[in-house]
């Protein structure tokens, strides 16, 4: 996985990203070409008007991305404005997000990003982003996508998403949830700030559970059943929290679009994580690493088969230290490389 550093205006950041990841972006478009067609033409005016109104800096970045990659702007717009509003795509791999509120290493965030088997994956990348007037952040996404939410900023806010889906009617007049969350990563200093940011507008998109932990140790989950936003906070005194591929708030129990097998696996992972961590005495980076590498009746490091999907890469954030660790590939075999904001 390439990890690049980009800085300047949104347009400059887009251009630098496009130039550095030109081959990877083209590979992404070849593997997952945008749908386009009559549906795109019909919905394009509302989608672009929403982007220009609510996310003008993201619009600038996508424009620069197309310039830097030497690709048509239309292709990058379609890649970043998925057509989920009419037909949600239920094909989700999985993802496991875990947070510790405190411990010898301070708060810790961990995530395994799961998807399809090797050879059938979007090309992943990391970006250290230093945008003019914004909080510096490191964000992990796919080449050509502005964001998949996952990452941490220099104030110590760490975010990780799990795909869930949403049964609710959506609108192209609402900003895309991934791009709205991206702006939150670059603007919010605490988990509560991020929750308020996400709840400030209705969003559109697949629907996600987003785990947040900040440098103070505050933990919460934003359950984005687009266009609805609900905030789930752990019980007072909780030492850990998690997000997997299901909504955990009872009011959203039937709001997902997971297939039965995937949802059953998500619920098993949730129960396993809670039992496993309740038995852990010390919640530190080493404990997080062990859990993200875990194999067993329920595996967190996933290799397909009964575990449904494959772990593509693994992240551990230390919000109080400004450090983020990345293992490219299955974390059971890959070493974690450190990055500092």
Query: Can you give the length of the chain in residues?
Result: 341
* Angle at 211 (CA atoms; ends 260, 307), nearest 5 degrees: 35
Q: For residue 86, what pLDDT is reported? A: 43
Reported as type and span, the H/E element at residue 272 is helix 260-278
Where does the pLDDT of residue 339 fall: very low under 50, low under 70, confident under 90, or very high at 90 and above?
very high
The one-character DSSP state at 164 is: -
Instruction: Identify the structural domains of the chain with CATH numbers, from first to last.
Output: 94-121+160-168+191-340 (3.60.60.10)
Q: For residue 87, what pLDDT is reported? A: 45
Percentage of residues in the chain having pLDDT higher than 90: 84
Q: For residue 83, what pLDDT is reported? A: 66
Q: For residue 153, what pLDDT is reported? A: 98
> Please, which residues bridge with residue 8 across strands?
131
Phi, psi of 314 (to 5 degrees): -135, 145
Where does the pLDDT of residue 270 fall: very low under 50, low under 70, confident under 90, or very high at 90 and above?
very high
Task: Categorise residue 144: left if φ over 0, alpha if ψ from -120 to 50, beta otherwise.
Answer: left
Where does the pLDDT of residue 176 fall: very low under 50, low under 70, confident under 90, or very high at 90 and above?
very high
- pTM (predicted TM-score): 0.94
Q: Is the pLDDT of residue 137 over 50?
A: yes
Q: For residue 93, what pLDDT is reported? A: 58
Average pLDDT, the chain: 93
Task: Give one DSSP letter per residue of 183-212, joined into a string.
Answer: HHHTT-SSHHHHHHHHHTS--BSS-EEEEE
pLDDT tens-digit readout, 273-297: 999 999 999 999 999 999 999 999 9
> Please, which residues bridge with residue 115 across strands?
310
Q: Is the pLDDT of residue 305 over 90?
A: no
CA distance 35 to 81: 10
Question: In terms of DSSP bridges, do strands 124-131 and 2-8 run parallel, antiparallel, or are they unpaired?
Answer: parallel
pLDDT tens-digit readout, 62-119: 999 999 999 999 999 999 997 654 444 444 457 999 999 999 999 999 999 998 888 7
Give, to the nearest 10 degrees, the angle between helix 37-54 and helix 73-80: 80
Q: Is the pLDDT of residue 206 over 70?
A: yes
Q: For residue 113, what pLDDT is reported? A: 95
């Amino acid at each position: 996985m390439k990890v690049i550093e980009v800085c300047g205006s949104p347009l400059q950041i887009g251009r630098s990203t496009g130039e550095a990841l030109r081959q990877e972006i083209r590979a992404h478009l070849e593997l997952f070409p945008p749908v386009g067609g009559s549906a795109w033409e019909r919905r394009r005016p509302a989608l672009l008007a929403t982007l220009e109104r609510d996310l003008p800096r993201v619009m600038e970045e996508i424009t620069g991305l197309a310039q830097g990659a030497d690709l048509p702007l239309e292709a990058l717009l379609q890649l970043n404005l998925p057509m989920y509003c009419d037909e949600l795509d239920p094909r989700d791999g999985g993802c496991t997000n875990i947070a510790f509120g405190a411990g010898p290493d301070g708060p810790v965030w961990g995530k395994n990003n799961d998807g399809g088997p090797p050879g059938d994956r979007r090309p992943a990348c990391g970006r250290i982003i230093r945008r003019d007037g914004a909080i510096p952040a490191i964000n992990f996404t796919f080449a050509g996508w502005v964001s998949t939410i996952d990452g941490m900023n220099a104030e110590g806010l760490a975010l990780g998403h799990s795909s869930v889906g949403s049964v609710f009617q959506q609108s192209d007049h609402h900003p895309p949830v991934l791009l709205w969350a991206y702006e939150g990563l670059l603007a919010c200093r605490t988990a509560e700030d991020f929750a308020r940011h996400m709840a400030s507008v209705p969003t559109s998109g697949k629907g996600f559970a987003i785990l947040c932990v900040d440098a103070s140790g505050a933990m919460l989950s934003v359950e984005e059943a687009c266009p609805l936003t609900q905030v789930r906070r752990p019980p007072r005194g909780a030492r850990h929290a998690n997000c997997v591929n299901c909504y955990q708030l009872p009011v959203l129990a039937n709001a997902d679009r997971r297939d039965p097998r995937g949802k059953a696996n998500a619920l098993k992972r949730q129960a396993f994580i809670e039992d496993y961590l309740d038995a852990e005495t010390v919640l530190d980076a080493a404990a997080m690493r062990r859990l993200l590498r875990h194999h067993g009746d329920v595996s967190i490091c996933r290799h397909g088969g009964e575990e449904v999907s494959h772990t593509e890469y693994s992240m551990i954030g230390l919000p109080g230290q400004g450090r983020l660790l990345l293992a490219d590939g299955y974390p059971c075999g890959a070493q974690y490389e450190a990055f500092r904001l």
